[in-house]
Amino acid sequence: MKLICVDLDTALPAIPPCTHGAQWVLARLHGRPVGVVYPPAAGCDPAELGRLILAQRGWSIAQHLAADCLADERTFADLSSLPRACPRAPATPALTLTVAVCTRNRAAQLSECLDAVAAIDYPPHLLDIVIVDNAPSDGSTRDVVARYPRMRYVVEPRPGLDWARNAAIRASTADIVAYTDDDVSVDRGWPKAIAAAFEAEPHAACVTGLVVPDELDSPAQVLFETCGGFGRGFERAVYRVDVERGESAARLYGGTGRFGTGANMAFRRSFLASEGLFDPALDVGTPTNGGGDLEMFFRVLKAGRVLVYEPAAMVRHRHRRSYEELRRQIANNGIGFYSYLVRTARAYPDERAAIARLGLWWLWWWHVRRIVRALVRPGPVPLDLMLAELKGSFIGLRRYAVARRHAAAVLQQFGPPSERAAAEIS
Partner 1 sequence: MKPDRDCAIAVRTVDIAQRVDPLADVSAYRLTRVFVTDGGVLVGSVEIANARQPISAIRLREAIANGLSYHLMRRALEKQLALDRVSRLPPHVPVSIVIPTCNRPDDLRRCLDALHRERPIRPREIVVVDNRPGPASPTAAVVRDFPDVRLVEEPKPGLSYARNCGFAAATGDILIAIDDDVVVSEGWLERLVAPFARREVMAVTGHVLPLELETRSQCEFEAYGGLGKGFNHFEVDGQWFRSVRGAVPTWNIGATANAAFRAAIFDDPAIGMLDEALGAGMPTGCSEDTYLFYRILKAGHTIVYDPTAFVWHRHRRDAAALRHQIHCYSKGHVAYHLTTLVRDGDRRALVRLGYSLPKIYLRRAYARLRRRSDYPLNLILTEVAGTLAGPWALWQSRRRVRRLGPGARMSRHHAVSMESPLTQTSAT
Residues 218-247 that bind partner 1 (CB under 8 A): 235-236, 238, 240-242, 244-245
Q: How far is CA 351 from CA 198, 252, 346, 361, in A?
A: 28, 11, 9, 15
Query: In the complex with partner 1, which residue's Cβ is closer, 160 or 189?
Result: 189
Judged by CB under 8 A, which stretch of 61-69, 130-138, 385-393, 404-412 contacts partner 1?
61-69
Instruction: Give the H/E segment covering residue 400.
Output: helix 383-414
Amino acid letter for position 116: A
Judged by CB under 8 A, which stretch of 58-66, 123-131, 180-188, 219-227 contacts partner 1?
58-66
Rounded to the nearest 10°, the torsion over CA 60, 66, 67, 69 is: 150
Q: Indicate the burial class of 55 (C-beta count within 10 angstroms; 0-12, 13-18, 19 or more).
A: exposed
Least Å from the CB of residue 300 to partner 1:
13
Query: In the complex with partner 1, which residue's Cβ is closer, 125 or 245?
Result: 245
Give the separation between CA 57 and CA 15, rounded to whole angstroms. 17
Is 135 a residue that touches partner 1 (CB under 8 A)?
no
**DSSP per residue, 273-335:** HHH----TTSSTTSTT-S-HHHHHHHHHHHTT-EEEEEEEEEEEE----SHHHHHHHHHHHHH
Q: Which of residues 42, 78, 376, 380 is near partner 1 by CB under 8 A?
A: 78
Is 94 a residue that touches partner 1 (CB under 8 A)?
no
Query: In the complex with partner 1, which residue's Cβ is closer, 14 or 71?
Result: 71
Query: In the complex with partner 1, which residue's Cβ is closer, 169 or 241?
Result: 241
Residues 293-322 that bind partner 1 (CB under 8 A): 306
Looking at residue 138, the DSSP 8-state letter turns out to be S
Least Å from the CB of residue 260 to partner 1:
18
Least Å from the CB of residue 339 to partner 1:
28
Least Å from the CB of residue 195 to partner 1:
13
Query: In the complex with partner 1, which residue's Cβ is closer, 309 or 338?
Result: 309
Query: In the complex with partner 1, which residue's Cβ is closer, 237 or 387?
Result: 237
Contact call for residues 63 and 142 (beta carbons, < 8 A): no
Q: Which of residues 14, 40, 46, 59 is near partner 1 by CB under 8 A?
A: 59
Residues 6+ apart with CB under 8 A from 229: 211, 213
CA 390-394-397 angle, to 5 degrees, is: 140
Is 91 a residue that touches partner 1 (CB under 8 A)?
no
Q: Which of residues 30, 57, 64, 152 is near partner 1 by CB under 8 A?
A: 64
Least Å from the CB of residue 32 to partner 1:
11
Is 70 a residue that touches partner 1 (CB under 8 A)?
yes
Q: Which of residues 10, 75, 92, 412 is near partner 1 by CB under 8 A?
A: 75
| Rg, C-alpha atoms of the chain | 22
Q: How far is CA 420 from CA 155, 408, 416, 425, in A?
A: 11, 21, 11, 9
CA 128-131-137 angle, to 5 degrees, is: 165
- Closest to 258 measured CA to CA, from 302, 223, 314, 297: 297
Is 76 a residue that touches partner 1 (CB under 8 A)?
yes
Residues 6+ apart with CB under 8 A from 75: 69
Least Å from the CB of residue 242 to partner 1:
5
Q: Which of residues 69, 89, 118, 363 is near partner 1 by CB under 8 A?
A: 69
Contact call for residues 251 and 245 (beta carbons, < 8 A): no
Contact call for residues 12 and 212 (beta carbons, < 8 A): no
Query: In the complex with partner 1, which residue's Cβ is closer, 158 or 268?
Result: 268
130 in helix, strand or coil?
A: strand
Q: Which of residues 79, 108, 376, 425 is near partner 1 by CB under 8 A?
A: 79
Adjacent-strand bridge partners of 33: 28
Query: In the complex with partner 1, which residue's Cβ is closer, 63 or 173?
Result: 63
Residues 182-211 that bind partner 1 (CB under 8 A): 200-203
Query: In the complex with partner 1, which residue's Cβ is closer, 301 or 374?
Result: 301
Q: How many residues bind partner 1 (CB under 8 A)?
A: 32
Judged by CB under 8 A, which stretch of 63-71, 285-293, 315-323, 333-341 contacts partner 1?
63-71
Q: What is the number of other CB atoms lying within 10 angstroms of the CB of residue 17?
A: 12
Is 170 a residue that touches partner 1 (CB under 8 A)?
no
Is 66 a residue that touches partner 1 (CB under 8 A)?
yes
Least Å from the CB of residue 201 to partner 1:
5
Q: Specify the long-range contacts of residues 410-417, CB closer than 8 Å, at least 24 apart.
A: 410/158, 410/159, 410/160, 410/163, 410/280, 411/158, 411/280, 414/157, 414/158, 417/156, 417/158, 417/163, 417/166, 417/167, 417/170
Binding site for partner 1 (CB under 8 A): 59, 62-64, 66-67, 69-80, 88, 200-203, 235-236, 238, 240-242, 244-245, 306
